Structure 1
Amino acid sequence: GTLPSTAKAVAITVTNVNDDASVSIAAISASKAEGQNGITKYTFAVTRTGDNSTAQTVKWAVTGSGANSASAADFIGAVLPTGTISFAVGESHKTISINVAGDTSVENDEGFKVTLSHASKGLELGTASAMGTILNDDIAVAAGTKGNDKLTGTSADDTLNGLAGNDLLDGGSGNDLLDGGAGADTMIGGTGDDLYIVDNVRDRVIESANAGNDTIRTTLLAYTLSQHVENLTFTGTKGFSGTGNNLNNAITGGSGNDVLRGAGGDDVLTGGSGADRLFGDDGNDRLIGGDGNDILNGGAGADLLIGDGGSDIYQFNAAISEIGINAGARDIISDFTRGQDRIDLTLIDANTVLRGNQAFSFIGSANFTAPGQLRYANGLLQGNVNKDLAADFVIELQNGPASLQAVDILL
């Protein structure tokens, strides 16, 4: 009964392999607006992994979750949904649809959780819960009286109408619409992308830095954007005058003959119909004349000038450093049309060697031979103002004509 002296011990490793099935849940489309009425479906994927050779089941249930939790009233039938998932032999994927009831009540975004439980024999729970969010899409509307009212919004998207009187409107958070109505009103948007209706020269708009992308819409003849407000839109047929601030502004004129100035920042100025004058001032601006015979002046920075319809004039200031030379730094005219548009260089002194403001001479595509010359080749209008006979400024004509004539330029 004894082993021979030459016998060796053999080590045996036993590994337990778990071949049971596991079931998990994950959100597919579960964070969306609830809608104003009817049903909005929030969907979740339930997946069985491992052994799927038998039929198995798992129950699920919805509960409210988070600081603003959903309640039974948020779901179809006014009950918290529950159900059972049944996997047939060989089946691994199922989808749960949670039916949320649309409404018109202003409320906070609400959270809910779908939890798996009571898995059948041989089926283990993996990731057992997933979250959904019911996003509020309703707007609170508050209206004042003939007196001096104070209207305060909610965290939702509010509409505040002051009506008559000198009103105080405070939108709070959310994307709010604030309309003071008649009177000298004070409007505070708070956070969110707010829209202000300004119809009185004594209306005040108060915004904080980095509190959203905000817009003032006005019928006033002249308006300068308030601090921390990004966009200005004029409505009406009169000739408006609008000025931006140091932010990246979008300023849009009405249908009359408007004068729009970007001031600081990288601005987008749109003239609309009418004979408009657009001045980008500082920054890398985009000027769009629209219909009508417009004047576009980019000012400093690398500007893009788009005349759009009409016979337009592209005007350049005396400081040639504003125009630039190299690609990425120079001004661009995107839609120059010969016989219709013109380039205005009359403010520039063509020859700094001489006293006074000299006019340019156009030499076609020839090389420079003297100060005060302009040449055009390969879509680039180049100017030389001194003795070095090199280009001191370059204007790019994007998709421009093959050649220019002196008549195309105000020299």
Structure 2
Amino acid sequence: MRALDVMGLALRSVFHTPVRSALTVLGLSIGIGAIVAIAAIGDAGQREVESELGRIGVGRAWVHADAQMGTALRRQDAALLERGLTDVLVSACARGTAYATRAGEDALVQLTGCDAAMGEIEKVQMEDGRFLLARDVEGTRSVAVLDASACAALFGDGTAVGETIALAGRPFVVVGVIAPLTSERVVANGTGTVYIPITVYEAMRGSGVDELLLSVEASRNVAAVAARAEQLLTRRYGEGFEAVTLEAEMAAARRILQIFLLVMTCVAVICMLVGGIGVMNIMLVCVRERKREIGLMKALGATGRMILSQFLLEATAYATLGGLLGMAAGSLLIAGASQLIGIQIGASLRTLGAAVVFSGTIGLFFGVYPALRAARLMPVDALRSDGR
């Protein structure tokens, strides 16, 4: 019996019972589809993390005050840190929420009070108009800068610069619109951000600064600069200040992403193992049902190796079909996830190929035991069998 004959017999056996074959490959296809989707989403998530890190820069730190200890930050503390730290840009900011209204349209937005340094630290790219200037802060001017989502919510596709909006009932003139990030979806009914001068924010809310944002040159040790900033504030006001670096935040984000991917991968692997057990189970059923066929083949000269090869090929065919279906299912999941979360997600050909090969390997592994049972059947016993 030639190798092609063995392969033909194996494939014919697989497609002879389409319903049973479909149910057999279902478990593997779910596992493979999940693994393909998880790998692609994980890669995209890692790229987004690195892209965000590159966009905002690695040299960043935040300083917060502990209100429970009676400490508070002041707008003047930004100048204090800039004097005490070399080549460090500091911005004072405060955040809250407010209803923004314009011509009957209203939206709940994040209201951020800040100074002109915020635009430079955040590397803000303007789509129209300008960001806040020092004279806006010093003159307590009622001007506002909208991000893309806030602009879409209030103005739709219309022009915002030069128009007037109301924030918590107070009129503001829009002087700029921030361009959306490449990964940012502009949602007309979503929560956007509106930037106003920190002095105006303090007058509206009667509260001080929430945090100081520090931007440090990439060549410097950010952790050391953050520690020095904390020391300066502690020396001035006493204990109750904490400086947090971007590196620590990004490392935490990476750990969370890795844990999530690990958990999801374990679930997908369990699905694949269940699918592999399903392949082994159906192959054992096939061996039992085809005992007479095996006995006849051996009586006509087929060797145990040929029988072994045929059943291994059948198991591998089941698993490979599951891998191909899983690859298609994973691609659909990736397309759906890309639309849902608004970032570019794609599975590489290497990932898809590896998934199919891995699926075939699972089938080969779980097909060894049934194939050995078939190969070791004695012709006489097999011919006498009634299929039980």
- Relative to the length of structure 2, the TM-score reads 0.20
Of Structure 1 and Structure 2, which has the larger fraction of its residues in helix? 2
| CA radius of gyration, larger in | 1
Of Structure 1 and Structure 2, which has the larger fraction of its residues in strand? 1
- Relative to the length of structure 1, the TM-score reads 0.20
